[in-house]
Amino acid sequence: MREMLEDMFGNEPLDPTEAARRNMRPNLRKRFYQVATVGAGTPYSLLLDGRPVKTPAGNALAAPAHPLAQAIAAEWDAQGERIDPAAMPLTRLANTIIDGVAPNAEPVRQDIAKYLGSDLLCYRASRPEGLVARQAQHWDPILGWAREAHGARFVLSEGVMFVAQPQAAVAAACAAIPSDPWRLGAVSLITTLTGSALIALAVAAGQLGEDDAWAAAHVDEDWNMDFWGRDELAMQRRAARFADMQAAGMVLRLV
């Protein structure tokens, strides 16, 4: 079974963005089990027809919270005649966390910290006025939360020219990065999906839901689509990324 799962899901890389990209490649295997259940005890293992499942790296596919394990099992139960990894964002994220984040958390933490040094929310448009207003509407409350909750005062800039953030602000925000590997992996995935560690930390703190976080991350893109229309293929890719976002949000709520 492990070889089959490794073939379907691959060896999950540490970077959740690359993990998501790799798992978008179709490699549909025939369903080989009848029912997915959750084992007793902590952590809660995924069982296929009563047999424990291994991650691509050979670790037990198990979650620290029973509701999360149930949600992972539900993904497997929802599969049809073929198993589609692209339709299993929780399983993919669990593999990444178990195989990549848990044994080597510090590089993940450092990657999130790098985003804080040049966070999306700090780079503002100078025009048109409608876009300026929309950025302020979605982004200012998140920056205000970082300032009030963590004492992190970030500097804003117009355009794309790099602006160095105060070390005190970055350090204060870094202190909010979770240490738990499951929450850390979820925050890392949201960071790479949105381009903003501040958005990810706000979701982790319960300040933003996935829908609001996704809207904040796509202010510029949505503004352009209002004028130039939507590309259906791009929207399909965006929907797939949002499914990953929802999986990360579920991890943060349940762990």
- Domain of 244, CATH number, reads 1.10.3580.10
Task: State the pLDDT at residue 15.
Answer: 57
Is 61 found in the same domain as 129?
Answer: no
Using one digit for the tens of pLDDT, what is the confidence trace for 37-80?
Answer: 999 988 999 999 999 999 999 999 999 999 999 999 999 999 99
Going from the C-alpha of 231 to that of each of 20, 134, 222, 234, the distances in angstroms are: 21, 22, 12, 5
Residue 69 makes CB contacts below 8 A (sequence gap 6+) with: 38, 43, 44, 45, 46, 62, 63
Is 188 found in the same domain as 92?
Answer: no
80: domain CATH number is: 3.30.2180.10
Is 73 found in the same domain as 31?
Answer: yes
Using one digit for the tens of pLDDT, what is the confidence trace for 222-239?
Answer: 988 877 777 888 888 889
Is 163 found in the same domain as 83?
Answer: no
Single residue among 101, 127, 144 that ends a domain in this structure: 101
Number of domains in the chain: 2
Single residue among 101, 122, 154 that ends a domain in this structure: 101
> In which band, very low, low, confident or very high, does the pLDDT at 102 lie, cut at 50, 70 and 90?
very high
Is 222 found in the same domain as 124?
Answer: yes
Is 110 found in the same domain as 15?
Answer: no
The continuous run of DSSP H or E covering 254 comes out as helix 232-254
Is 158 found in the same domain as 71?
Answer: no
Residue 52 makes CB contacts below 8 A (sequence gap 6+) with: 39, 45, 46, 60, 61
Using one digit for the tens of pLDDT, what is the confidence trace for 180-217?
Answer: 999 999 999 999 999 999 999 999 999 999 999 999 99
With vertex at residue 37, the alpha carbon angle to CA 32 and CA 38, rounded to the nearest 5 degrees, is: 135
Sign of the torsion angle spanned by Cα atoms 182, 188, 194, 197:
positive
Q: Where are the beta strands (DSSP E) in 140-179?
A: 157-158
Within 13 A of 230's CA, how many CA atoms are on the CB side?
Answer: 9
Is 137 found in the same domain as 216?
Answer: yes
Is 239 found in the same domain as 116?
Answer: yes
Task: State the residue range of the domain holding 13.
Answer: 2-101
Is 156 found in the same domain as 94?
Answer: no
Torsion-angle region of 156 (φ positive above 0: left; ψ -120 to 50: alpha; else: beta)? beta
In this structure, what token pair is assigned to residue 239?
A: 């929907």
With vertex at residue 204, the alpha carbon angle to CA 202 and CA 208, rounded to the nearest 5 degrees, is: 45
In this structure, what token pair is assigned to residue 79?
A: 């599969």
Single residue among 40, 66, 101 that ends a domain in this structure: 101
Average pLDDT of the chain?
A: 91
Q: What is the DSSP letter of 54?
A: B
Is 240 found in the same domain as 115?
Answer: yes
The pTM assigned to this predicted structure is 0.88
Give CA–CA dist 57/98, Å, rounded.
9
Is 180 found in the same domain as 85?
Answer: no
